[in-house]
Chain A
Amino acid sequence: MTRSVGADDSTVTDNLSRRSFLAAGGAGAATALAGCSDGEEIDAGNGADEDTDVDGDYLRMAVDSVSSLDPVIIQLDSVGEYNIYERLTDHRNGQLPAEGNLAEDWRTEDDGRIYEFDLKEGVQYHDGREMTADDVVYAWRRMAESPETRNADDLLDTFEIAHERDDDGELVPDSLAVEAVDDYTVRVELAQPFYLTLDQLANISFAVYPAGVVGDIEGYDGEMSQSEFGTENPIGSGPFQLEEWEDGSHLSIERFDEYHGEVADIDGVHWSIMDDSNARLNRALNRNLDVFTMEPSQFDPDLLEIEETDEQGREFGTYGPLDNDEMVQYQSSEVLVSYYIVFNTANVDELAVRRAIGHVIDQHELAANEFNDMYDPGYHIVPPSAFPGGEDNYWEMAESDYPYGYAESQIDEARELMEDAGYGEDDMYELSLTVYPDSIWQDFGELLASQARAAHIDIDVQEAPQSTIINQAIEGTMDAFTLWDRMDYPGPDVFHRFLHPTPEMPQFTRISAGVDSEYADEAADAWEQYLDNRGPSDAEEQARNEAFERIETANLEMVAQLPLLHERVHRFVYDWVDIDMHGAMEYQQYNTVSIDDQP
């Protein structure tokens, strides 16, 4: 079927306006539909049509991989898990702060140690059942007790719900202090107050689903196996339900008409599962994706025009023309991901070396040259939107207090520092830096190595994928390595818990030895200050923020982790789609998306 006479013309005549081109493409698509005599093309939602062409108004995107749809396993939103499952609270459109969702209202007692949630009534699951408080108890118990769980630390660690342990230290089944007071009231008792409880509860692992669907915890027989729940039949209360998931091919969700909130306008969302960024981009250029992303190597900053930046730092504009001559909408948002160099301070115990490397690196240049400005330069470990005192305070502190050169490379200072420490051209300090096996990071490593040479540091750049980096980090065999980490909730403590000495856990990213006690004590003391002030009051918040600033400063002094970058998500959206950009939490529900004349 030939649909794109208009499209063909537009490639020849560049001056044809985008609008008229779109109109031509749209008309072509309409003819194509009309030309289909059997009418199958229009039938979208019944799932019988497994054609790769997505029919009906499906938002089409791509994702690199999907592992499971069971909330006790899911760790990140990749394919709209947040559209299938809902939690008591929610970051509306991925924006801070958290708001009530399945919980309409809540009260706290005992200085924020006890929460009582009033659940929304009449919330229907995808299988027709109605949500009650028992479901919350069941779902959270599974998170702690299921043999399949990978998310137990979400409620038993920094954020800790009170529970009992037996003599072997194992969690006692059904001892989690989550109680269904009545059908629509849930009472949660924390081990100690936690200032971001509502944010933490918005995490996908706290998803609520019907009690007893999987019988992998005591007291429930189960209606299906964990494997079936996680791959074929996830049941939630979100605006979309799973339609089809074929491993390594595609996953689609379809509109849930009985949704308790705003019922979606579009018929569903379709993700092509492909790992290679080049394949994804080509698919997008082929107009088979509506919303897509790019790698820094594929992105050309010259084609970008930013028209608006909102108060959350989200950017909106246009990008193009693409290789297919289309102009697309551009949107970007900072997300809570930081990249940094972790020093194994036990191996690299010379402070001058760690500081000298800080002097050599110019974060601005790294972001601009290697990442085409797709990432933001980082001068603290905690990203701006979670930084104490907010984004403004982040940049103010960075500009005035960053000790190793804000937006500049200070090779002379680095050399001086090393010479003062007794190193010279004939007596270089040797260390190895392990980077991700990615050309950008290799370039970064090579550049750093060549610059550091002038400061009498001999860096041997090695590469290792994330899975072996973790292993080597545990064994403590590396001197320094690049690492990225993402915050589950927008609290500096997610990253700061690694920035004070923990000699009893001498592994991974923790500071063990080789740090001057002056800074180590300061960081440890500040961490104590945070631990003592985790409650909801203003005084505690102030003390907490002060502690976070102290930890950031101590870290920069001792250079245990050297901040490099903060990630931004950039999205490119064809003009026929109307979609809002998500916020720092990096997820959103697609029930407010609309699509107009998709080709």
Chain B
Amino acid sequence: MSRLGYLARRLLLAIPVVLFGTSLTFLIIRMGPIDPAAAIVGSPDTPSAQAQYERTREQLGLTQPLWDQYVEFMTDLLLFDLGQSWVLSPGTNTYDLILTYAPRTLWLGFWSILIAVFVGIPLGFYAGLNPNTRADYLVSFGGIVWRAMPNFWLAIILLALFAQSQQYFFGFDWSGFVVDSEVTGAYQFSDITTSEGFVREFKRVLPAALVLGSASMGNEMRIGRTAVLETINSNYVETAKAKGLSTTKIVWKHVFRNALIPLVPVITSEAFLLIGGAVLVEVVFGINGLGYLFFQAVINGDLPLVASLMYVFILVLVGVNIIQDILYTIIDPRVGLEEGSA
């Protein structure tokens, strides 16, 4: 089967997953304890508020049979008619809200993956190539420590350190370093193309990205080390050595590429973690991204927003999964495209 056919098959298989996920979303939010009408009207404790509560229920379609609601819900989602927010930002299209909040999460996610990859993997590989040396112990120990620090704790500590850097770093003023930047708050992308804007936003994303990437950085270090150790002792590397290939060539052509294979799912699975794990970091740093929006929508009973975000998350997860499968076939041609050949 061609790679294109493989992709098509993957996409086709994704459809039932998406349908199942959205149906489950519908069930959970409709059957859950949150009454969206009460969330909108507040406490319906006066006669006119009570009347308004009933009217709101009708307006929201909550008085229709559940099956009709389900059909409407599914068709709307599939046609990308995501509706309007009810509670958080009444009258605003959820589409607009997502477009406003998503870039912040993407910016944070991008750097937390990148920092983790560019720090974690090289260190892990270095440790793997120099096993049981002092450097290896240092890296491994560091990896465990990074891995062990819980995000909520690390986030608060880093926020305090960066926000009040003058107290903790002998007068070093992080906010005024290179360009003026604030530590907390949502990112501003209006001037991200200028060098000053880019540096400023990079400075602002750094503490949060370190926190969010910390666990994966540790993971990648550990797995990278193990993968290199495994590959380096394998027969084909022995063969390559016996053929008299240079160490550089062995490392870069044989060890490195093969050691990457176990790292692919680790890196892609971080994309999933970022969606769930970003909430905490976003709240602590006041970033107000998608995760925060989702959390707020849930606790405020803003059901259209919850449903739309769930739908987007499901699409992203399925998409990342497909990308992961494709990456596999590129890095490791042995991963079969044919059915049952692997």
Contacts and interface: CB of A to CB of B under 8 A. Distances in A.
Interface string A277-294: 011101101101000000
A323 interface: yes
A286 B164 contact: yes
Interface stretch (B48-56, B61-69, B121-129, B240-248): B48-56
A279 B43 contact: no
B183 interface: yes
A164 to B, nearest CB: 15
Given A467-B299, A508-B43, A275 B288 contact: yes
A471 interface: yes
Contacts of A148: 90-91
A67 B299 CA distance: 15
Contacts of B89: 66-68, 231, 247
B175 interface: yes
B44 A157 contact: no
A450 interface: no
Interface in A281-337: 282-283, 285-286, 288, 323-324
B185 interface: yes
Contacts of A474: 35, 38, 44
A249 B59 CA distance: 30
Interface residues of A, number: 68
B101 interface: yes
B292 A278 contact: no
A473 B283 CA distance: 29
B191 A50 contact: yes
B58 to A, nearest CB: 12
A152 B288 contact: no
A518 interface: no
A73 interface: yes
Nearest to B49: A153
Contact of B35 (A11, A152, A470): A470
Interface stretch (A1-9, A182-190, A365-373): A1-9
Main SS of the interface on chain A?
Answer: loop
Contact of A152 (B52, B167, B182, B185): B52
Interface in A473-532: 473-474, 497-498, 505, 507-510
B185 A324 contact: no
B171 A12 contact: yes
Nearest to B93: A227
Nearest to B288: A248
Given A68-B91, A153-B52, A275-B296, A282 B163 contact: yes
Contacts of A276: 283-284, 286
Contacts of A66: 89
B45 interface: yes
A147 B49 CA distance: 14
A246 interface: yes
A250 interface: yes
Given A73-B90, A280-B286, A285-B163, A470 B38 contact: yes
Contact of A249 (B34, B91, B288): B288
A65 interface: yes
A230 B91 contact: yes
Contacts of A247: 89, 92, 97, 100-101
A324 B48 contact: no
B292 A275 contact: yes
Interface string B298-332: 01110000000000000000000000000000000
A503 B51 CA distance: 17
Contacts of A7: 166, 173
A249 B176 contact: no
Nearest to B41: A150
A509 B43 CA distance: 9
A153 B45 CA distance: 11
A278 B182 CA distance: 15
Contact of B296 (A65, A153, A246): A65
Contacts of B88: 65, 67
Contacts of B52: 150, 152-153
A75 interface: yes
A157 B182 contact: no
Nearest to A249: B186
B47 A157 contact: yes
Given A153-B46, A250-B185, A467 B159 contact: no
A158 B186 CA distance: 42
**Which of A12, A247, A474 has the most B CB atoms < 10 Å from its CB?**
A247
A236 B32 CA distance: 40
Given A52-B182, A250-B186, A274 B50 contact: no
B163 A283 contact: yes
A152 B48 contact: yes
A148 B182 CA distance: 37
Contact of B175 (A50, A286, A468, A471): A286
Interface in A29-57: 50-53
Contact of A73 (B91, B97, B185, B292): B91
B91 A324 contact: no
Contacts of A52: 181-182, 185, 188
B100 A246 contact: yes
Contacts of B181: 52
Contacts of A158: 46
Please name the 7 residue pairs, one residue from A and one from B, whose CB atoms are nearest each other, closest first.
Answer: A274-B286, A248-B288, A279-B286, A249-B186, A8-B171, A50-B190, A282-B163
22 contacts: A7-B166, A51-B188, A65-B88, A150-B41, A153-B49, A158-B46, A249-B185, A249-B188, A250-B186, A273-B288, A276-B286, A279-B184, A279-B285, A285-B163, A286-B175, A324-B164, A467-B38, A470-B35, A471-B38, A474-B44, A505-B50, A508-B43
